[in-house]
Structure 1
Amino acid sequence: MNWKPFIRENGLHLSWVVALVATLGSLYFSEILQYAPCKLCWYQRILMYPLAIILGIAAVRKDKRIYLYVLPLSVWGAGISLYHYLMQKTELFQEGAKACGLVPCDVDYIDWFGFVTIPFLALTAFVLISVVMVLLWAAGRGEAGKNARSEG
């Protein structure tokens, strides 16, 4: 199966669904279950919430070059999520968790299967969005070259 047509047709919608589920999930944890977000959770939200809007608009408009705007947000978000996850799961980074604010950053509200925490869920979402955006960029590179050759 050639992946490029699939990504060109579905990549924006897939990444929008991931961002939307992540946004709604974080709101569920904080507003329904009343889990107070720590400072790093807020930074992750600041990077994820706009992605749900930007990717939704890009999916409607079929803007294949949205990766220019999405990748910086998703890569930064993945970095913060990874740091946050390491803070929760390793002793190496736990020293800074206490200085995180009113809610320490090493609090595990959920711990499914011994490794799935809220920062892990955010990391997964940011990585999925980043991978789809890189694939969308790669699929567009081949298409741009093909269009240039057909015009020339």
Structure 2
Amino acid sequence: MSSDPVARLRVLATGLRAAMYTEERIDLPYDRVWGAAADLERELPHLVPFLREFRVPPGDSDRKTALAVGRLGVRAAFEVRLAPGWCLMQSRLVVGGMAAVAEDGGTRFAVLGATRPALLQPLQRMYGGLLGERRSRAFIHTIAQRAALR
């Protein structure tokens, strides 16, 4: 398996037939970009429009169970794997991921969003065709803005 987190996320996106996957270069240092991305409790509600809260238990473990609370109060548990340059979040229905690597004084950043059950694949294809690229580019634009504020 590649040690490049962005390359690993790209492979995962292909395997999941992700509705949302984009990678771009952000003209900010890796530490600032990943610092914002890895701050899940504070930053995810700014990055995901339908998310009101993302509660992550304290501690140093790279595996945690977080609670996502949507704008309408819907709750879902997410298994979170968080390591330098790598974040994978999975619920029963959804997989989300972010990856970053330093690149020429900036950061190559990638974001992934996919559904898990095969039953949701038609919905995923429709979303991907209509909004996936636009939504993932907006996510990266917002992470760049949030990182610039740090």
TM-score exceeds 0.5: no
Q: TM-score range by the shorter chain?
A: under 0.3
Question: Which of the two has greater strand per residue?
Answer: 2
Q: Which has the larger radius of gyration?
A: 1
